[in-house]
């Protein structure tokens, strides 16, 4: 009988952790799981620029009628401008607003499948926990290229490039634009240059996922590698998220971008993405995109917003340095120095699953399987406790 044969789903490693942590009554619990930014009081604040834009929107908005399959086109263009800057590939890039960047990942996966049913998507080993499920559900093959070196905690660029030498015209190479999730280890600029040359020569499609622009070295600095690639490769696809740098998590605000060899071809592909959207969710939610559009097109609001993102970035980098310093002090060892070098919200600690379990069961410190911690979830008063607990393993 239909439905009666179904077994319960395997729990999502990130979302199920949040539920478990919320239910934990230990007053010392530390939530280093899901990737949300928190201030030093443990609160994920609504950004000031968002609050102001919301007030304006409340007054200005006169209808809740449908917007359209591609969502807010002014939002799409403003986000393309933010991610691409002056990159010449902007002339052939088109965007579609999606329900979060996960929606964008899925829509792009669907059109890749429609174009090349036996395409393989290459993911970094490790990669964001939802990359493989999304690509596989769209019917694409998934394989992994070497990325994170568990010894150095850096990118193993040589092994990565050696593996990608085998990628050809039926391959897609998914790269994190900045602030790699989960490892915190970013591809150096020279790595972007190498991948660019290989994509041009070998014909694979670069797929860039940008979810943390502004959390690494700065809003412009974080996308230099991506922009280098975008200007040179014949075609690429890109996803952008407003969850983190606009703090719009629950508003599901993201976009998919396609840049083919010509604008005409990009627009044809856009119709296929719209077709995929129509047959799944139809249209994205409006609220988050309306706010982002307003902020990015108002000089004063944009300036406020950029300053707020910079404050968040500095808090996260400060926490990285403080945690690494405390661990160095307490252990007289440089073992955890890499935490200060990593970029963005996350670092992979290189601890075993058994050690993760001890952290959770004995110390109520919650981290994502594979040893990922969300630095942006730490409160300064917890640094000592986290360092002590880690060193007890
Ligand atoms: C994360 O990696 O924790 C976030 O991007 C949340 C999510 O959707 O998985």
- Residues 201-208 have a mean pLDDT of 98
Mean pLDDT of 259-271: 98
Instruction: State pTM to two decimals.
Output: 0.96
What does residue 13 show for φ and ψ, rounded to 5 degrees?
-65, -30
Strands 171-176 and 141-146: unpaired
| Buried b or exposed e, range 13-31, using 16+ CB within 10 angstroms | ebeebbeebeeeeeeebbb
Closest atom of ligand 1 relative to the 181 alpha carbon = 2
CA of 387 to the centre of ligand 1 (A): 24
CB of 295 closer than 8 Å to CB of 266:
no
Determine the atom of ligand 1 nearest the C-alpha atom of 128: 2
Give residue 71's pLDDT.
98
Q: Whose CA is nearest to atom 1 of ligand 1?
A: 35
**Number of C-beta neighbours around residue 135 at 10 A:** 27
Pick from 102, 130, 367 the residue to mutate for probing ligand 1's pocket: most ligand atoms within 8 Å of its CB.
Answer: 130
- For residue 2, with 0-12 CB atoms within 10 Å meaning exposed, 13-18 middle and 19 or more buried, which class applies? exposed
Is the CB of residue 307 less than 8 Å from the CB of residue 122? no
Local confidence band at 331 (pLDDT 50, 70, 90 cut-offs): very high
The band of 164, judged by pLDDT with boundaries at 50, 70 and 90, is very high
Sign, CA torsion 366/137/171/276: negative
pLDDT at 86: 93
Q: Which residue has the tokens 């990285």?
A: 320
Question: CA-CA distances (angstroms) from residue 119 to 113, 145, 204, 205, 262?
Answer: 7, 15, 10, 10, 22
Read off the pLDDT of residues 41-98 as tens digits, 9 standing for 90 and up: 999 999 999 999 999 999 999 999 999 999 999 999 999 999 999 999 999 999 999 9
- Beta-carbon contacts of residue 246 (< 8 Å; ≥ 6 apart): 47, 50, 253, 288, 291, 292, 295, 305
Ligand 1 atom showing the smallest separation from residue 35 Cα: 3
Residues with CB under 6 A from ligand 1: 14, 34-35, 128, 130, 181
Arithmetic mean of pLDDT over the chain = 97
> How many angstroms is it from 249 CA to the middle of ligand 1?
10
Q: To test the ligand 1 pocket, which listed residue (32, 34, 252) has its Cβ within 8 A of the most ligand atoms?
A: 34
DSSP helix/strand/coil, 47? coil
Cβ neighbours, 10 Å, residue 116? 15
Give me the pLDDT at residue 130, please: 96
In terms of Cα–Cα distance, which of 90, 107, 156, 114 is closest to 274?
Answer: 107
> If pLDDT is split at 50, 70 and 90, which confidence band does 25 have?
very high
């Amino acid at each position: 009988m239909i439905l009666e044969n179904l077994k319960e789903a395997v729990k999502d490693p990130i979302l199920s952790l949040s539920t478990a942590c919320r239910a934990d009554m230990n007053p010392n619990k530390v939530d280093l799981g899901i990737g949300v930014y928190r201030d030093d009081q443990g609160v994920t604040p609504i950004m000031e620029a968002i609050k102001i834009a919301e007030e304006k929107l409340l007054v200005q908005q006169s209808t809740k009628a449908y917007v359209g399959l591609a969502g807010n086109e002014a939002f799409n263009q403003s986000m393309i401008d933010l991610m691409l800057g002056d990159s010449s590939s902007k002339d052939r890039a088109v965007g579609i607003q999606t329900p979060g960047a996960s929606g964008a990942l899925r829509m792009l996966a669907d059109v890749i499948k429609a174009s090349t049913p036996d395409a393989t998507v290459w993911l970094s080993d490790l990669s964001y926990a939802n990359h493989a499920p999304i690509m596989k559900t769209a019917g694409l093959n998934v394989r992994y290229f070497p990325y994170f070196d568990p010894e150095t905690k850096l990118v193993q660029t040589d092994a990565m490039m050696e593996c990608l030498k085998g990628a050809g015209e039926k391959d897609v190479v998914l790269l994190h634009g900045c602030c790699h999730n989960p490892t915190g280890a970013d591809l150096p600029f020279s790595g972007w240059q190498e991948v660019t040359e290989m994509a041009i020569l070998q014909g694979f499609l670069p797929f860039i996922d940008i979810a943390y622009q502004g959390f690494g070295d700065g809003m412009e600095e974080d996308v230099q590698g991506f922009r280098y690639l975008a200007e040179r490769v014949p075609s690429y696809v890109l996803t952008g998220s407003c969850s983190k740098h606009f703090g719009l998590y629950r508003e599901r605000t993201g976009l998919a971008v396609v840049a083919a060899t010509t604008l005409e071809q990009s627009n044809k592909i856009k119709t296929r993405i719209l077709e995929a959207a129509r047959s799944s969710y139809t249209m994205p939610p409006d609220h988050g995109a309306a706010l982002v559009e307003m902020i990015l097109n108002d000089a004063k609001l944009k300036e406020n917003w950029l300053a707020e993102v910079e404050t968040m970035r500095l808090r996260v980098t400060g926490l990285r340095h403080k945690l690494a310093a405390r661990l160095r002090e307490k252990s007289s060892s440089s073992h955890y120095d890499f935490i200060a070098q990593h970029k963005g919200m996350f670092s992979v600690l290189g601890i075993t699953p058994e050690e993760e379990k001890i952290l959770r069961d004995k110390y109520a410190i919650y981290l994502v399987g594979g040893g990922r911690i969300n630095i942006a979830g730490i409160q300064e008063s917890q640094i000592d406790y986290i360092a002590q607990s880690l060193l007890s393993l």
